[in-house]
Amino acid sequence: MQQLSYFELVGFGPNGWGWALLTATGMTLAVAACGFLIGSVVGTFVAWGKIGGNLAVRSLADGYTTVLRGIPDLLVIYLFYFGGSAALGAIGSLFGAEGFIGVPAFLTGALAIGIVSGAYQAEVFRGAFQVVSKGEIEAARSVGMHRWLMFRRIIAPQVLRYAIPGLGNTWQLVLKESALISVTGLVELLRQSHIAAGSTRRPFDFYITAAVLYLIITWVSTYLFQRAETYSLRGLRRAS
């Protein structure tokens, strides 16, 4: 049997794996984007706790960021997957169900990535808040602006403006963390490459292709975050 060329192997022909790799790339982007958005929500509340909370809230927020940044991301994924499955099994047993009940792999991945990235995004938001001019906040208070309106019109826009570079770095971390979700069975880019490599016995071709696809996503993401940063700084006078 004639061996397929590289371009036939990763192409979209009858014997190619192109569509499978493209679908897996979309899955990688989907789980990474969901995890990043969950992390943004979690990070916002944790940053608020670090900045404006009482002693108990600050201690909880500090403990969260310390623990989640200190343990391996893969361990968090395992805890979510097997811990969630154990909880579902216990609930199912109450209704007569038997055996292992697995948590959906996509949900596990998005939540695990979100919880981990939330710890990093919290520090990004906290650092960005420190750059916001305190004079503007004091001026808003002096005119009687309530906290929610002040947050929406003054704090949030400026924090987001200064947080964009850090969020871009966090997104790159999230994108790489998405490859770890393959241990739960989710067919994302790395797992699909592993399946294709095992089926064709040509691992080098598929792993190199996966690396190229990751680099393309990274390059496009970097470009978009740079454009967003440039747009957010429009109209600001830079120090000479």
pLDDT in tens, 203-220: 999 999 999 999 999 999
Residue 240 located in a structural domain = no
Residue 101 located in a structural domain = yes
- CATH code, 122: 1.10.3720.10
Tokens encoding 60: 């909880």
Find out whether 186 and 27 touch, Cβ atoms under 8 Å. yes
The residue segments making up the domain with residue 193 are: 6-232
Give the chain's mean pLDDT: 88
Name the residue with higher pLDDT: 190 or 232: 190
- Sign of the four-CA dihedral 158, 161, 164, 166: negative
**Mean pLDDT confidence for 177-185:** 90
Residue 1 has pLDDT above 60, yes or no: no
Residue 84 located in a structural domain = yes
Q: How many domains does the chain have?
A: 1
pLDDT digits (tens, 9 = 90+) for 57-91: 999 999 999 999 999 999 999 998 888 877 777 77
Find out whether 28 and 189 touch, Cβ atoms under 8 Å. yes
Residue 187 has pLDDT above 60, yes or no: yes
**Mean pLDDT confidence for 180-198:** 92
Residue 1 located in a structural domain = no
3-state class (DSSP) for residue 132: coil
